[in-house]
Structure 1
Amino acid sequence: MSLTRPFRAIALLRCLPLILIAAALPTTASADWPERPIHMVVPFPPGSSPDLLARTISEPLSQALGQPVVIDNKPGAGGNIGTRMVAKGKPDGYTLVYTINGPLVTAPELYKKTLGYDPLKDLQPITLVATSPNVLTVPATLSVNNVADFIKLARERKGELNYGSVGPGSSAHLAMEMFKNEAGIDLVQIPYSGFPQVISAIIAGDVQAGFMVPAIAMPQVKSGKAKALAITSLEPSESLAGIPTMATQGYPGFEAISWNAILAPAGTPAPIVERLNKELSQIINSDTVRKQLAQQYFTAAPSTPQGLTDRIKKDQARWNTVINQLNLSLD
């Protein structure tokens, strides 16, 4: 026998508190997460700087979440392949990517036709992890001691000086092209397969300069085989104390920062994103991790998800200008 309208109304009112409580609860996937291991894709080879930093983060994250965080190295195409894999992955909180800024910032402009993902649409930022400036590095035998000296020499030997990069579109390439444009100098790019090869060429005098990652440059600077003329952060770096910024040597606003970040596929439930951000922020800010980052010349820099989004947008605008000035495409 069907209920009359008054009885139906009473029944609904009695159920209303339960309905409201259920609506306020997170989805089952979010409430129970994580129930199995989480895979953190690193789109670079084992032993690379991103790989080492990801492993520094993954161990305490495993402890915080109560599940293993497994590192999956998926190198190729400057980090684009592994990043694309995560961008197209299932947004359930079990797949993350630990990547550098290149696949998020410069890749969309360099690979307009073939990239296969949009960082701002296909990925959910979790947090920025750490930042590091590049180091303008020259041979120890080069008769320059600061940026002004180098510019003077480059103008005297117009078109004769070479610089090392790790290929077109790399941070080493784009930072130097920005410097060339602002300083009005002419240098010839010599691409190498990696930063170890670039620093070897600098030491040998095969190239006269390069914007280097500190972990590769500084051991050679400390040994007296190379000189560090400047760093590319706007503020001095604690881990690179004594090396002046480009900004204080006549180029205010000159910034070319390398950074690392953790992201998930777009659509990952908000409670999972919030949990990851909370746990990772505490881990990154811990004394142990900050010291480990500093050993590789990185500064801990956790952020909100929106803060990472803003950083991607800001850096895309900066480097898209340089890429377009060069009329550079890698498709």
Structure 2
Amino acid sequence: MNSISRRRRAAAAALALSIALPVSMSFAQGDKTIRMIVPNAPGSSVDSLARTVGDRLAKAAGGSVVVENLPGAGGVPGTTHLTRAAKDGQTLAMVSNNHVVNPSLYKKMPYDAIKDITPITVVAGSPFVLVAHPSVQAKNLKELVALAKANKGELTIGSSGNGTILHLAAEALQSEAGIRLRHVPYKGTGQLTTDLLGGQIQLAFLGVTGAAQHVKSGKLHAIGVSTTTPSALLPNVAPLAQQGVPSYDLQGWIALIAPGGLPAPVANKLHADIKGLLDTKEMQEALKIQGFTAMGTAPEATAALFQNELARYATLVRQSGMTID
């Protein structure tokens, strides 16, 4: 083979490699910026996790990650921006359970929650904890069920809003425990927690991180956690599944997604980058402080979770009869 042919073949190989390389390889060389959309308000758990991951990803790769908050309407507007972005791996979004709840709540969606996104990984998960005001004479689920039945649906349970994951956690519990509680929706967890601490409402599911300090101080007492294993932040609080509702298992999760149709090599490389971060002790400790457990599911497993959760929440929404529009 002459030198010209060798050079041509080398150039062609280099061109093919540059086309095949995932964007994160270019990002790792410091000449790319990843835009990470957060369809939630600043300070939310999704926002906090996005910044924790983004900062460490940028540090490790030598590039930059810009977090952009586009909150409102359960995350629909922000996710709409994601679905319309270029399929090059440079625009990502961090979403929560709401992503697969929304299709059951909204009669019209500007995108398909499954077909118009590419799942990358479930970054982390966290249980919820069912907590009660100290005036509630029930220390565990058995006592709560008896109290609820005796009060014939008059016990109040607050949530962060109709159709939110905290509302659905309550609906799932009522369905499986055979009880009825009076739902009181709020606009977010701030006033919900304030009223729960003040005794204006009696029960609520809260994120374990926000609830732990109030449980430990005695301002609230914990009935049970929503996952089948205890939380590291509340190790002495038994799972609800061990208290009479064995199939009850509901976890808050936060996942990284990209626009639909992202090439598999790009998705796989992004997953490998994030999984590498999640496997470090530093990252696991940072997540633990926020009440999260690192996960790092593969794209295929993440897609399967989305499908399963979509069907599950559709059933809960249908049972509750709630809609947003």
Give the alignment's TM-score, normalised by structure 2: 0.91
Percent identity, please.
36
| Structure 2 residue 19 is the aligned partner of structure 1 residue 27 | yes
Q: Is the 8 A contact 1:128 1:260 kept in 2?
A: yes
Q: 1:37 aligns with which of 21, 25, 33?
A: 33
Q: Is the 8 A contact 1:64 1:279 kept in 2?
A: no
Q: Is the 8 A contact 1:195 1:216 kept in 2?
A: no
| Structure 2 residue 101 is the aligned partner of structure 1 residue 101 | no
Deviation of the 1:29 alpha carbon: 7.3
- Structure 2 counterpart of 1:25, which letter? L
What SS does the corresponding residue of 1:33 show, helix, strand or coil?
A: helix
Deviation of the 1:320 alpha carbon: 1.1
Deviation of the 1:48 alpha carbon: 1.4
Q: Is the 8 A contact 2:141 2:224 kept in 1?
A: yes
Q: Is the 8 A contact 1:54 1:98 kept in 2?
A: yes
| Structure 2 residue 160 is the aligned partner of structure 1 residue 166 | yes
In structure 2, the partner of 1:249 is 243
Q: Give the direction of change, closer, same or farther, for the CA distance of 1:30–1:301 in structure 2 (3 Å limit).
A: closer
Deviation of the 1:250 alpha carbon: 0.7
Describe the superposition over 1:266-319 as per-residue Cα deviations: whole angstroms up to 9, x where unpaired.
122333222211110011121111111111211111111111101111111211
The residue correspondences of 1:297-316 to structure 2 (distance < 5 A) are: 297-316=291-310
Describe the superposition over 1:65-124 as per-residue Cα deviations: whole angstroms up to 9, x where unpaired.
321001111111122211121012111111110111212x111111131x2111211111
| Structure 2 residue 194 is the aligned partner of structure 1 residue 210 | no
Q: Is the 8 A contact 1:139 1:208 kept in 2?
A: yes
Q: Distance in 1 between matches of 2:81 and 2:161?
A: 23
Q: Is the 8 A contact 2:134 2:220 kept in 1?
A: yes
Deviation of the 1:323 alpha carbon: 1.2
Q: Which blocks of at least 5 consecutive residues in structure 1 are unaligned?
A: 1-12
Describe the superposition over 1:218-242 as per-residue Cα deviations: whole angstroms up to 9, x where unpaired.
1111111001110011222333311
In structure 1, the partner of 2:318 is 324
Q: Distance in 2 between matches of 1:299 and 1:143?
A: 32
Q: Distance in 2 between matches of 1:328 and 1:280?
A: 36
Q: Distance in 1 between matches of 2:14 and 2:54?
A: 33
The residue correspondences of 1:1-331 to structure 2 (distance < 5 A) are: 21=13, 25=17, 27=19, 30=22, 33-34=26-27, 35-103=31-99, 105-113=100-108, 115-331=109-325
Describe the superposition over 1:172-205 as per-residue Cα deviations: whole angstroms up to 9, x where unpaired.
1111112112222221111111112112211211
Q: Distance in 2 between matches of 1:68 and 1:100?
A: 23
Deviation of the 1:161 alpha carbon: 1.1
Larger Rg: 1
Deviation of the 1:19 alpha carbon: 10
Q: Which blocks of at least 5 consecutive residues in structure 2 are unaligned?
A: none
Give the alignment's TM-score, normalised by structure 1: 0.89
Deviation of the 1:45 alpha carbon: 1.4
Q: Distance in 2 between matches of 1:170 and 1:304?
A: 26
Deviation of the 1:14 alpha carbon: 10
Q: Distance in 1 between matches of 2:297 and 2:191?
A: 33
- Structure 2 counterpart of 1:121, which letter? K
RMSD, aligned CA: 2.2
What SS does the corresponding residue of 1:323 show, helix, strand or coil?
A: helix
